[in-house]
Chains A and B, each alone.
Chain A
Amino acid sequence: MNELREWGLTLLIFAPLIGAAIMMAFPKTDEGIHKVIALGTTIVTAIIGVILLIDFDYDRADEMQWAVERDWIDIIRAEYAVGIDGMSLPLLILTLLVVPLVIIYSWNHFPNPHNPKAFLMLILVLHTGMIGSFVARDLVLFFVFFEVVLLPMFFMIAVWGGEDRKYASLKFFLYTLFGSALMLVSFLALFFLAGAETFSIVGLAEAVADGDISRNAQIWIFGGMLLGFGIKVPMFPFHTWLPDAHTQAPTQGSVILAAVLLKLGTYGFVRIAIPILPEAAVVWAPWIGLLACIGIIYGALGCLAQTDMKRLIAFSSVAHMGYVMLGIATLTDWGINAAIFGMVAHGLITGMLFFVAGSVKERYHTLEISRLGGLLVSAPRMGWILGFISMASLGLPGLAGFWGEFPAILAAYNPANGLPVGLFRVYMVIAALGTVLAAGYLLWLLQRTAMGEPSEEFANDPHITDPNREEWIAWTPLLVLILVFGLVPGLIFNVTDPAVEANISDCLSADVGDDKANFDVGACERDGLDAALAELGVAIGDGE
């Protein structure tokens, strides 16, 4: 076991690359072998994930576990430092779950121009990048993995995408690369200003806390990260690459993009930007909140205007990630717990939505909403699934989506010290309004696609059938988890909470230097709440 604790994460990161390397040895025509190798590799990673889940010490979820530190590029003090804690565990597990499911879904449905070998190899490389991003504890390492993700996705869209794939893929690539560049600038600035000693996240956070970097520089650096991560999320107004990328990407690409890739941005905020630069976070938070709220309403309006099902789902991501960003902007435990929950929930739900959209496309050969209809008649189970995930997506309590939304709204009522309370309460109401719009566009979509009688065109089409075996295998785990997380939110909250406390609360309650006055504004209220919470803890403790 100790061996695995030492080597587990490294194995996890490089297993997909090894798989891809083995695949290179076989000719393109041996499709079966490629499928088996790819699936086998991802299942190995998933098994390691399960072992990690079992071995993970949930009482110490605030500490890095399975942690490894090795010298890497000595000249720039970059380390190979990986580890997993309560904040990254849910996202890592999400990744390890989704990728094998995507491969199973692909089994007999490789998009044109087919070529499973290349397609699966790209997915495996992508897998490495995603895993690496979630376990990296060093900024250089993180950046490398963050960038590794870009190219495979670019090729997936550019080669296997829809009609407008070149435009969409290039826009995706350049836009996110632009963000990455700014992010890199910020990382480098941090490194040099903090004395060029370390790229470790914890080390940099300590250096900043010690006052090594001026407040102004912190704000600038945070701004760079904001752009870098914000584009990836994507936040309004940097989201325009997303609808194009999603619409043009093959189903598998869309699912991975929605389920995991978007989370790299939000994860960057909670893992890197805020813990290292809490003071700057407080300065930027009202603006992040503003953009989040605009995103919520604007994304929903964008959805209402869509005539294409897949594009509608893509726009809904803008709205949903708005809730995640709002949770982050509050800089409270509640908000950030909600954000992480929201990331997982959005990954499951929107991933599912894209799966279904892909399957609809395969059956109808169109996603034009006005031509669809009567899915519940033609393929009842598929219609039910669409109904179920629409409900989950609109944040129905009892399903996973709710726990990302409601706690974020709740947190906005009482944001962290130093944030304008009145403003955030306005955000809260706007976000609550967004839930109405979300219900509007999702139910309208459901009504137009699933309800009613099928149109003449598709009334007796034998191709329109209920999910087949691969689809069931790929979808069932996601559907079950949407329900389970909805009923037992503790499965995620209990894991993230200690880590969030350690990473966020501590850094925000630390002495924050010259901005004392600003911080005292909300302090009284906050203290009152803390006291009350402590009291409540006592009361509940007594009760048992």
Chain B
Amino acid sequence: MTGLLSSFLAVEAVPDVSFTTEANWFLENVWIIPLLPILSFFAILFFGKRLPQGGAEIGIAAVGLAFVLAILTNIAWLDHRDNFDYHDGETRTHLEKHDDHAEDEHASALLEVDGVTESVVLSFAEEGAEGAEEIHPSVAVISERSWFTNGDVDFTAGTIVDGPVALMLFVVTTISLLVHIYSTDYVSGDRRYTHFFAFLSLFTGSMLAYVVSHNILQMIVTWELVGLCSFALIGHWWEEKPNSDAALKAFLTNRVGDIGLLVGMVILFFSAGGTFDVVEINEKAVSGEISQTALTWAAISLTAAVMSKSGQFVLHTWLPDAMAGPTPVSALIHAATLVVAGVFMIARLYPVFWYGFVIPGSDINGLALIGSITVVFGGLLAFVQNDIKKVLAYSTVSQLGYMVLALGVGAWTAALFHLFTHAFFKAGLFLGSGSVAHSVHSFDMKKDMGGMRKFMPTTFKTFIICSIALAGVFPFAGFWSKDEILVGTGGFGVGAGKANGEYTLMLVMGLVGAMLTGAYMTRCIYLTFFGEFRGHGHPHESGPRITIPLIILSVFAFGAGFLNFPPGFLTGDAKKPSFWQERFGHFVEPLAAYFPPISHSVPSWWLAIIASVIGLIGPAIAYFYYFVLVDRKAKETGEKLTELPNGPTTSVGFLKAGHTLLVNKYYLDHLYQNVIVGFTKGPLSKAAYWFNQNVLDGVVDEAGRTAVRSGNFIYRYIDQGAIEGVVNGSGRASTSGGQGLRKIQTGKVQQYAALLFAGATVLAGIFMFVN
């Protein structure tokens, strides 16, 4: 027993508790945090225009207050995580059997490793028995109220606070507050300034409501609300058609993924015995009460939703187009917060994916595969973009791929950690690109930028810091989180014991992705900040409301990684993490009955070094190409070059083909827009309508004509006979081709009605005999 445990470091004794309803006030009343920005939305909408700052002051006040509350909630959580007395407190799980057994028996969990089923006996009640030390659990805090009744079951709405929620509250409110402040300068004088701030508030509120959702129905509602805000903000300048097109594309692509969301959630609802409760579903997935088949189908369906919301390959195409929105929106929504909603959903319902995709003990699964493909294919696309925001957008796609990959290989904490660090440096990069664009009035790096470091030193410095963090250079934030993901793959057996399986392919793809990241950012930095200025006018540094958020974000981009030093870093003993190591993992990762028994990899110095070297090869090549070759050529010719004339992509055959493929975005947009959407909007709908008008309606009209004819027949020969009928009848018979009903005089209605009722009476008689 002891031996088994020590070989899998993290098969910890997870105490059999899930949640409590009584805790610190801030943890119980977390619903106030999303409510503030939502109220602010309505306040701005109705009163914003009358205020001196056009409503921005309401938004900033609300989000600022939410930020303060989020900080307090986090502090409360830090205390609660370690000091909550789960023996005496009001704690429980949804599974009754656990309550019965916890007292006298060891609850057992099945852990499947490399095809061998081992029964790991976990001891909670008897402290320290059989060598397994009791780990202090992470007890979630839940509060709920009745929402509606259906099928005689009362459904509640409520909030949950646990590690990942506390984290997201901090991330969302921080970035949102900075973006709000930045926006007061960036969009000042905009034609819909007030409207812009209203939707920033609504977005922040919906996202916060999403993360605190304690049931999947609430998650669906808020998931769609953030989608709505995304639609409204991407299409902020809807007068121009490309913008409204982008907004529609974003919404519709997400709707495609939502099919998966709805189906997946429905499967979970029924397979968990008719509940939407996240904790209960998770507990039942962990305890095996939900069948493997159901979990697999649910996981596959939900993955489709993640693919659209979190921009995973092949449903990522909306994300770069979403850059049509104002830059602060790109930073807030399409880099730091909204797009991680999908990642957060996997994290929230992790047992479903963990068991559904059989993550432990495998070497490949759907989630990890999608993530790794996205890392590489998204990164490649960043190389052919001229629009600085699109470079960053594809970079976001690629980084989201890392998060999904990490979740796919079982490195849950690494994924959330990367979500955390990425939020800061990517927001910094987007806001930095906005700062540049604000000054040159364009996003085109090749046409209108170049040499910006001279004009905008602060923006330049912060951009460089965030880029280095993104590229994952030691000791910046991205290094720590990316390294944790790479170790987590367990590829080639790194991490001492393939914690959750041996995902070698994912490790390789992750390394390739790291190489690409540095390279495209080097290109981006060269084109933007180095060389000669190619635009017009006299660019200058942005004001403090823009630069101060940039500085704050770059501080996080540098230091956020220190929150999760790997265990054993500088102390050597990975099995006994020091008090300053793995802080992030300790507070964020749920250790409770609603979370699967994930294992943690042991950090590997070798991998860190190799990854760093590989991660530097890419930038080195890009540096050589741009800073040496292009720069030299530019000085020789005296032209403002952005690439080598007759460079490899125009001269070498397969590179040229590859370049064309990338420029056309793998032809996915062509497939979606021209083939699928075009077919549905064009031939398919027209065919359906033709069928409607000519076949279905044809039958009706023909029936009408026949009724008229037979009515006339009866009227003429039976009822009246003779002349009048002949005139009427012939008059009507001569009209044909869909005109039949049109020619009928309304005065005849009673006649037909009488006919129909006579028929009805006859039919009623027939029924008598049928019986």
Q: Is the CB of A379 closer than 8 A to any CB of chain B?
A: no
Q: Is the CB of A410 closer than 8 A to any CB of chain B?
A: yes
Q: Is the CB of A398 closer than 8 A to any CB of chain B?
A: yes
Q: Which A residues are in CB contact (< 8 Å) with B223?
A: 397
In the bound assembly, the distance between CA atoms of A193 and B239 in angstroms comes to 65
Q: Is the CB of A422 closer than 8 A to any CB of chain B?
A: no
**Interface pair B244/A396, CB less than 8 Å apart:** no
Known: A170-B746, A177-B753, A189-B764. Contact between A536 and B741, CB under 8 A?
Answer: no
Stretch with Cβ within 8 A of A (4 or more), from B1-9, B142-150, B638-646 = B142-150
**Interface pair B689/A439, CB less than 8 Å apart:** no
Known: A184-B757, A376-B238, A533-B273. Contact between A301 and B697, CB under 8 A?
Answer: no
**Interface pair B688/A414, CB less than 8 Å apart:** no
Residue of B nearest to A409 (CB): B262
Q: Is the CB of B722 closer than 8 A to any CB of chain A?
A: no
Residue of A nearest to B753 (CB): A177
Q: Is the CB of A513 closer than 8 A to any CB of chain B?
A: no
Residue of B nearest to A501 (CB): B152
In the bound assembly, the distance between CA atoms of A484 and B152 in angstroms comes to 22
Q: Is the CB of B189 closer than 8 A to any CB of chain A?
A: no
Q: Is the CB of A181 closer than 8 A to any CB of chain B?
A: yes
CB-defined interface of B590-627 with A at 8 Å, one 1/0 digit per residue? 00000000000000000000000000000000000000
CB-defined interface of A162-198 with B at 8 Å, one 1/0 digit per residue? 0010110111011101100110110011001100000
Stretch with Cβ within 8 A of A (4 or more), from B73-81, B115-123, B418-426, B677-685 = B677-685
**Interface pair B741/A167, CB less than 8 Å apart:** yes
Q: Is the CB of A145 closer than 8 A to any CB of chain B?
A: no
In the bound assembly, the distance between CA atoms of A526 and B267 in angstroms comes to 14
**Interface pair A333/B266, CB less than 8 Å apart:** no
Q: Which B residues are in CB contact (< 8 Å) with A185?
A: 760, 763-764, 767
- Determine the main DSSP class of B at the interface with A: helix
Q: Which B residues are in CB contact (< 8 Å) with A241?
A: 700
**Interface pair A489/B148, CB less than 8 Å apart:** yes
Q: Which B residues are in CB contact (< 8 Å) with A440?
A: 252, 255, 677, 680-681
Q: Is the CB of B721 closer than 8 A to any CB of chain A?
A: no
**Interface pair A398/B221, CB less than 8 Å apart:** yes
Q: Is the CB of A458 closer than 8 A to any CB of chain B?
A: no
Q: Which A residues are in CB contact (< 8 Å) with B152?
A: 333, 497-498, 501, 533, 537
Stretch with Cβ within 8 A of B (4 or more), from A211-219, A345-353, A358-366 = A211-219
Q: Is the CB of B580 closer than 8 A to any CB of chain A?
A: no
**Interface pair A397/B151, CB less than 8 Å apart:** no
Residue of A nearest to B154 (CB): A540
Question: Nearest-CB distance from A390 to chain B (Å)?
Answer: 11
**Interface pair B148/A391, CB less than 8 Å apart:** no
Of B244, B263, B273, B746, the contact of A532 (CB 8 Å cutoff): B273
Q: Is the CB of A220 closer than 8 A to any CB of chain B?
A: yes
Known: A490-B146, A536-B275. Contact between A175 and B700, CB under 8 A?
Answer: yes
In chain A between 96 and 132, which residues have their CB closer than 8 angstroms to a CB of chain B?
Answer: none
**Interface pair B224/A396, CB less than 8 Å apart:** yes
In the bound assembly, the distance between CA atoms of A529 and B91 in angstroms comes to 26
Q: Which A residues are in CB contact (< 8 Å) with B235?
A: 451
Q: Which B residues are in CB contact (< 8 Å) with A175?
A: 700
CB-defined interface of A387-416 with B at 8 Å, one 1/0 digit per residue? 000010000111000100011011001100
In chain A between 438 and 474, which residues have their CB closer than 8 angstroms to a CB of chain B?
Answer: 439-440, 443-444, 447, 450-453
Q: Is the CB of B386 closer than 8 A to any CB of chain A?
A: no
Q: Which B residues are in CB contact (< 8 Å) with A214?
A: 771
The listed residue with most B CB atoms (<10 A of its CB), out of A164, A166, A174, is A174
Q: Is the CB of A332 closer than 8 A to any CB of chain B?
A: yes
Q: Is the CB of A221 closer than 8 A to any CB of chain B?
A: yes
Q: Which A residues are in CB contact (< 8 Å) with B771?
A: 189, 193, 213-214, 216-217
In the bound assembly, the distance between CA atoms of A223 and B505 in angstroms comes to 59
**Interface pair A537/B154, CB less than 8 Å apart:** yes
CB-defined interface of B666-706 with A at 8 Å, one 1/0 digit per residue? 00000000000100110011101100100011001000100
Question: Nearest-CB distance from A342 to chain B (Å)?
Answer: 13
**Interface pair A170/B770, CB less than 8 Å apart:** no
**Interface pair A443/B252, CB less than 8 Å apart:** yes
**Interface pair A439/B151, CB less than 8 Å apart:** no
**Interface pair A493/B746, CB less than 8 Å apart:** no
**Interface pair B241/A452, CB less than 8 Å apart:** yes
**Interface pair A397/B221, CB less than 8 Å apart:** yes
**Interface pair B688/A333, CB less than 8 Å apart:** no
Interface residues of chain A, those whose CB is within 8 Å of chain B, are 154, 158, 164, 166-167, 169-171, 173-175, 177-178, 181-182, 184-185, 188-189, 192-193, 213-214, 216-217, 220-221, 237, 240-241, 298, 301-306, 332-334, 337, 374, 376-377, 391, 396-398, 402, 406-407, 409-410, 413-414, 428-429, 432-433, 435-437, 439-440, 443-444, 447, 450-453, 488-490, 493-494, 497-498, 501, 528-529, 532-533, 535-537, 539-540, 543
25 cross-chain CB contacts under 8 A: A173-B749, A175-B700, A184-B757, A188-B767, A193-B768, A237-B696, A305-B685, A306-B689, A337-B150, A374-B239, A397-B222, A398-B224, A414-B270, A429-B259, A432-B259, A437-B680, A440-B680, A443-B252, A444-B681, A447-B244, A452-B238, A488-B147, A488-B148, A501-B151, A543-B21
Nearest first, the 3 closest Cβ-Cβ pairs linking A and B are A532-B273, A490-B148, A304-B685
